[in-house]
Amino acid sequence: MLRIKDALSPGNLPVSSHFANRILRSGQGYIDVALRNRKHRLAFVAAALVCFALAAAYNVFEWLSGAPWHPAVDFAYQMVVVTGFALFWFLMAYFLKQRPVGPLKAFWTTLVLGALAIAVIRMLVGITGGAPEDVPVNQALLGFEYETGVPLTFATVVKMHAISFARALVAFYLLLRFQDLVLFKRTKQSQRTWYLMLASMGVFSLLAILKDPAEDPNAVQFAAVIPVVILMILNSFRVSWIVFLSFRAKAAGVGLSVLLMLLLAGALPAEGFLPAHFMYIRHASYPLDQFTLVALAFGLLYCVTSFLFLIFHLPTTGDFRRKAGEVTAMYSLTNLVNQAFDPDKLHLAITKTPVETGGAQMAWLAIEDERSGSLRPQVAAPWNTTAEDVEAMTDVAALYEELATRREPVILNEAPADHRIRGNPGSRIGSMLMTPLVTRDTLLGGLFVTKDIAQGFDEDDIEAIGVYAAQAAIALDNARLFEEKLERERLSRELDIARDMQNRLLPRDLPEIEGLALAASSIPAYEVGGDYYDFLKLDEDRLAFIVADVSGKGISAAFYMAELQGIFRATARIAPGPADFLAQANVAISSALERGMFVSAIYGVIDARAGTLILARAGHCPAIHISREGAERDVRPRGVALGMDRSTRFRKHLEEERISLRPGDTVAVYTDGIVESRNSEGALYGHKRLVEALKTHRKQDASAIYEALLANLHEYIGRTEYDDDMTLVVMQWNGMPNHTKPATT
């Protein structure tokens, strides 16, 4: 017995403590698992009934024979009774576990059961059976032979078992119900303490086995009760279920715990209203008496601590409820973070919570929205008010500015005294708390909450809103990142389409005209620009060309390129000259261009037979004309870009330039992507460098010149990714074929 006790007390040999842990943690677990099986349950019930039957039979025979049994049989009897009640305990544990109840119900069911048991026990104790006149008074009262403890009447046998059962029922029920309360916040530690208490109670009560019922506890028992008391005290302070009760439930809990306390205090002591009933239990089973005694004593202790904690927690119930509300709100917001990517929805969710949890009367956000292009913070998601009212009641910009500079919660305790809060008769702002929404060092906006009374926000509120705002900021940030990602994906899809479109719009093959050598291409930048070039053979000798640059990028630029192509292909043949072509193009494309967009273009017609070039320019980079001898000239007739001026003024300001070419002359037309390319230091390539390169390579043929120019450019910028499209067209006239041929032959 002592060895088991050692094994069960903490801080012993590793092996024994391991063993103890096994028992403590899984002993009950194995039985629980076993009891889930219906057959096992029935076997348990049958075994318990057999135990009780055997015990009753033992006492009945004792009564009939009038002599005590042999000590060995007595020991076996004790073991059978203990086993029976142990089985009863596990069965009860199983059934109560299937029907969990709340704290208050645990109290009042225990109370009712206790009251019933007291009534039954009181009634049973009162019955005196047999022939009372034959026996001494004190023995008649109890019905046991003083010397041997043998029951004197059959009624005594019934009484001892019925009373034992009644008290065991109440004690077990109480322990098992209170177990759920003690282990309300189950931790390894709390569970360990609880099961250790049960085990120590068991050990303590088993020490009483084979003891004479008349004997009082000896020194060993007193020693064994010390750990029981310590563990009981430890467990009685586990009352965390209390804080989650509402005010009414707590008040009811106070009443119930007092009643149960009185009931237990009245029933337990020998002088209480159940005098000497424990003697029957001791005769039936001394260990059971001891176990139920400590179990009920624990119940009494737990009622006292519950009562005290309930009383202390009554006044703070409201605060706790509010805190719990805030926690719930925070949780719901955290959930929202993962779902809401619609900024408007999210804004509303953010301002709604402080008002709904009672933390504020009004709430709104001030958001500096880059997309609106405005530098002023905008009032968003007003809750319990309107954006107009907020603008009327407060100086939104000034308040936001303070928040932006301080970047910490700002409290206006006497809001009407602040110059930024306007003393409007309908104003309901008594105090205001503004909290910045900051993530990753970026201010996303401010959360403004108000109350109609002055000094409405205490430290707790400021802290709670602060934590809440941090969550909200993360949510906002997430939504923004998500939106940006969508935007990026959209842009990248758009770019793919635009690139594809641009590729198809540019000519695949260059036309062939005798006497004229051509080289041209457009190098698209990563972000598709709007460079366009094209050629059209007007007749055997004449070639029309266009080089254009649509301001803007992406799909809209590609769209205008397509438009330009249509205009070029349709109009080039019928336009009398370059200026007329550009004037018509201006009219055609102006109607389609959106505000702030324009197209620079250069259009020319080369006559390979006559050796002439007529050229008009609409806001485009000038063409470069280089002779074989190296004389260079910018061809820059006057002209405004397409789409900038929709009136007839466009045509009036447009000039044409006519150039007589000489054999070996080169004309280069380009877009600003070429001259505005930058090297790693950010310096522009520039018009001058282009002209110099042209001069250097002027004696080569068109495609060689073209290659040399690009090579020169690449060498300068030192990389192969470009910010803008680059288009370069090189045209070289090699003389009039029909005139030169006869001269050479």
Partner 1 sequence: MERHAKSYETSDDMSNFSVGFRTETHIRILDLNGELDAHTASELEAALQKCRQDEMYRIVANGRHLKYISSAGLGVFMAYIEEMREAGGDIKIAGLQASVFNIFDLLGFPLLFDIVEDEQEAIRKFDANPDENTA
Write the DSSP string, 32-74.
Answer: HHHHTSHHHHHHHHHHHHHHHHHHHHHHHHHHHH-SPPPHHHH
Residue with Cβ nearer partner 1 (113 or 644): 644
23, 419, 424, 442: which is closest to 195 by C-alpha?
Answer: 23
Contact 471, 464 (CB under 8 A): no
Near partner 1 by CB under 8 A: residue from 582, 672, 685, 709: 672
Residue with Cβ nearer partner 1 (495 or 621): 621
Euclidean distance between CA atoms 623 and 630, whole angstroms: 15
Q: How far is the CB of 597 from partner 1 (least distance, A)?
A: 6
Euclidean distance between CA atoms 59 and 157, whole angstroms: 6
Residues 190 to 249 in contact with partner 1, rule: CB under 8 A: none
Q: How far is the CB of 492 from partner 1 (least distance, A)?
A: 17
Euclidean distance between CA atoms 467 and 325, whole angstroms: 14
Q: How far is the CB of 314 from partner 1 (least distance, A)?
A: 56
Give how many residues touch partner 1 by CB under 8 A: 32
What does the block give as tokens for 445?
């906006």
Q: How far is the CB of 312 from partner 1 (least distance, A)?
A: 56
Near partner 1 by CB under 8 A: residue from 18, 649, 688, 714: 649
Q: How far is the CB of 679 from partner 1 (least distance, A)?
A: 14
Residues 716 to 735 in contact with partner 1, rule: CB under 8 A: 724
Q: How far is CA 626 from CA 238, 429, 490, 637, 687, in A?
A: 98, 77, 45, 17, 14
Contact 447, 437 (CB under 8 A): yes
DSSP β-ladder status, 542-550 and 410-412: unpaired
Q: How far is the CB of 678 from partner 1 (least distance, A)?
A: 10
Q: How far is the CB of 674 from partner 1 (least distance, A)?
A: 14
Q: How far is the CB of 641 from partner 1 (least distance, A)?
A: 5
Q: Is 536 left (phi over 0), alpha (psi -120 to 50) or beta?
A: beta
Euclidean distance between CA atoms 427 and 418, whole angstroms: 13
Near partner 1 by CB under 8 A: residue from 14, 71, 126, 373: 373
Contact 536, 568 (CB under 8 A): yes
Residue with Cβ nearer partner 1 (490 or 688): 688
Residue with Cβ nearer partner 1 (339 or 442): 442
Residue with Cβ nearer partner 1 (347 or 553): 553
Q: How far is the CB of 526 from partner 1 (least distance, A)?
A: 12
Euclidean distance between CA atoms 348 and 365, whole angstroms: 9
Q: Is 140 in the site for partner 1 (CB under 8 A)?
A: no
Contacts of 316 (CB under 8 A, 6+ apart): none
Residue with Cβ nearer partner 1 (228 or 621): 621
Strand partners, 435: 447
Residue with Cβ nearer partner 1 (569 or 646): 646
DSSP β-ladder status, 623-626 and 612-618: unpaired
DSSP β-ladder status, 378-383 and 410-412: unpaired
Residue with Cβ nearer partner 1 (534 or 724): 724
Q: How far is the CB of 635 from partner 1 (least distance, A)?
A: 13
Q: Where are the alpha helices (DSSP H) in 360-442?
A: 387-393, 396-406
Residue with Cβ nearer partner 1 (531 or 541): 531
Residue with Cβ nearer partner 1 (406 or 653): 653
Residues 520 to 559 in contact with partner 1, rule: CB under 8 A: 527, 549, 551-553
Q: Is 653 in the site for partner 1 (CB under 8 A)?
A: yes
Residue with Cβ nearer partner 1 (14 or 596): 596
Q: How far is the CB of 440 from partner 1 (least distance, A)?
A: 15
Q: Is 376 in the site for partner 1 (CB under 8 A)?
A: yes
Residues 585 to 644 in contact with partner 1, rule: CB under 8 A: 595-598, 600, 618-622, 636, 638-641, 644
Q: How far is the CB of 616 from partner 1 (least distance, A)?
A: 12
What does the block give as tokens for 21?
């842990």
665-690: buried (b, 16+ CB within 10 Å) or exposed (e) per residue?
bbbbbbbbbbbbbbeeeeeebebebb
Which DSSP category does 620 fall into? P
568, 529, 566: which is closest to 546 by C-alpha?
Answer: 568
Residue with Cβ nearer partner 1 (199 or 528): 528
Q: Is 375 in the site for partner 1 (CB under 8 A)?
A: yes
Residue with Cβ nearer partner 1 (200 or 600): 600
CA dihedral of residues 416, 420, 421, 425 (deg, nearest 10): 100
Residue with Cβ nearer partner 1 (130 or 554): 554
Contact 457, 433 (CB under 8 A): yes
Euclidean distance between CA atoms 439 and 437, whole angstroms: 7
What does the block give as tokens for 442?
């970026």
Q: Is 645 in the site for partner 1 (CB under 8 A)?
A: yes
Q: Which stretch binds partner 1 (CB under 8 A): 46-54, 101-109, 144-152, 373-381?
A: 373-381
Q: How far is the CB of 603 from partner 1 (least distance, A)?
A: 15
Q: Is 704 in the site for partner 1 (CB under 8 A)?
A: no
Q: How far is the CB of 677 from partner 1 (least distance, A)?
A: 12
Euclidean distance between CA atoms 241 and 107, whole angstroms: 13
Binding mask 676-695 for partner 1 (x = CB under 8 A): x-------x-----------
Q: Is 508 in the site for partner 1 (CB under 8 A)?
A: no
Strand partners, 600: 549
Contacts of 623 (CB under 8 A, 6+ apart): 602, 604, 615, 617, 634, 635, 636, 667, 668, 669
280, 154, 174: which is closest to 236 by C-alpha?
Answer: 174
Residue with Cβ nearer partner 1 (372 or 455): 372
Q: How far is the CB of 636 from partner 1 (least distance, A)?
A: 8
Q: Is 440 in the site for partner 1 (CB under 8 A)?
A: no
Residues that bind partner 1 (CB under 8 A): 373-376, 527, 549, 551-553, 595-598, 600, 618-622, 636, 638-641, 644-645, 649, 653, 672, 676, 684, 724
